[in-house]
Amino acid sequence: MSEERSSNYARILIAGGGLVGNTLALALAQRGCRVCLVEARSGALPAAESADTRHLALAEGSVMALQRLGVWNALRSEAGPIRRVEISRRGAPGQLRLDAAEHGFERFGAVVPAPRLLQALAEQVARRDGIEVCAGIEVKGSVAVGEERVVSLSDGGERRVALVVAAEGSESPLRTQNGIPVRQHDYGQSLISCSIRAGVAAQGCAFERLDSDGPLALLPRPDGRMGLVWTQASDAAAARMADSDDAFAQHYQDRFGYRLGRLHGPGRRSLWPLRLIFAERLHAERLVLVGNAAQTLHPIGAQGFNLGLRDALALALHIAGAADPGAEAVLQSYQSARQADREGTLAWTSQLLAMRPGGSPLGPLAGIGLGVTDLLPALQRGIVQRAMGLAVLPLLPEAA
């Protein structure tokens, strides 16, 4: 490739303009890379009536990253700070309470609605130099040819780039087309998300309730409502989706209890089937995976987007200064750098699932472990470090 062409040429194509794809585009542009972001959605911004009602619990490290990327100011007024976390086991002993102030922090992170985060990211991408957005277009396929990957687009066009990033989500066609094997497990569960009003103010506390049927969570919002997350067997979840608002709130109340008084007024609900998808490797020739294309985890512990964001920041760090961003050595270095975080986060979510009543033969020990950790702040440090996601700090780009 000539020097003249490379100066005006997007050497990196990101397939997928979701949360992680947009985050990666911003991180790369901030490091001086030219990027082409291909997104199947025809509008640059998600519609207000989006079916996505999820609330994302962002680790403080993720909040810091969004600040560096110039996104956080647009979200600040809608972000609910997480100052305390309470983990309990329904119908079984064992409770863990974490207070950020006791560990010298103002908060563990913040809660934001997923559609608003996507909107804020897309708006910043639209303003950022060095990012070309191709909306209403899909990547149909790609093939490595020499020092390039030739990408076929749904509008009949073609792009030649040094690297393709698959950020298309859990069912990533590019991952499948390139024969990257995955570990898979169907949890037989679905997640219901919505907002709900509580009789007692949460005061910055996030609640995780480990139930034998699946974990529940209530996440603080700044408007007095709570973000509700409820995982259960898929057939039961479908029945709850058909409930009236009052019946739905009562069913959830029966599982969560009255720690926050009476729960009422649930908002519009959305349903998400749950599967584990974990890529055995993160790259093929001039192709690399990030976010849910790399790993889709159970939502317990709220690790999904936080892990995907760290994927994006790590990849930007590895390829921004590389003479050839798609070189095998560069992609192998990225994969090696992400291994411990990916495996550790998968293990952490598996451990939390095993702590549910009936989730493991060692369930009684889990209750004892939570209780002991609750009493000894020194034992809480590892949990606090994971909750805050401060491992992201070495990956952060310079401030915008």
Give the residue-averaged pLDDT of 223-235. Answer: 95
Q: How far apart are CA 121 and CA 291, in angstroms?
A: 15
Mean pLDDT of the chain: 88
Give the residue-averaged pLDDT of 248-269. Answer: 96
Give the residue-averaged pLDDT of 43-71. Answer: 80
Q: What is the predicted pLDDT for the residue at 212?
A: 85
322 pLDDT exceeds 60? yes
pLDDT > 70 fraction of the chain, expressed in percent and rounded = 88
200 pLDDT exceeds 80? yes
1 pLDDT exceeds 60? no
3 pLDDT exceeds 60? no
Return the domain boundaries, the chain: 3-184+274-395
Interval 16-26: pLDDT, tens: 999 999 999 99
Give the residue-averaged pLDDT of 345-367. Answer: 69
Pairwise pLDDT comparison (265 vs 355), residue with the higher score: 265
Q: What is the predicted pLDDT for the residue at 301?
A: 79
Q: Among 58-62, 206-210, 211-215, 219-223, where is mean pLDDT lowest? A: 211-215
Q: What is the predicted pLDDT for the residue at 244?
A: 98
Res. 51 pLDDT band, cuts 50 70 90? low
Interval 128-185: pLDDT, tens: 999 999 999 999 999 999 999 999 999 999 999 999 999 999 999 999 999 999 999 9
pLDDT > 90 fraction of the chain, expressed in percent and rounded = 72
Q: What pTM does this model have?
A: 0.91
Q: How far apart are CA 68 and CA 277, in angstroms?
A: 30
Pairwise pLDDT comparison (373 vs 290), residue with the higher score: 290
Domain 3-184+274-395 has CATH 3.50.50.60: yes
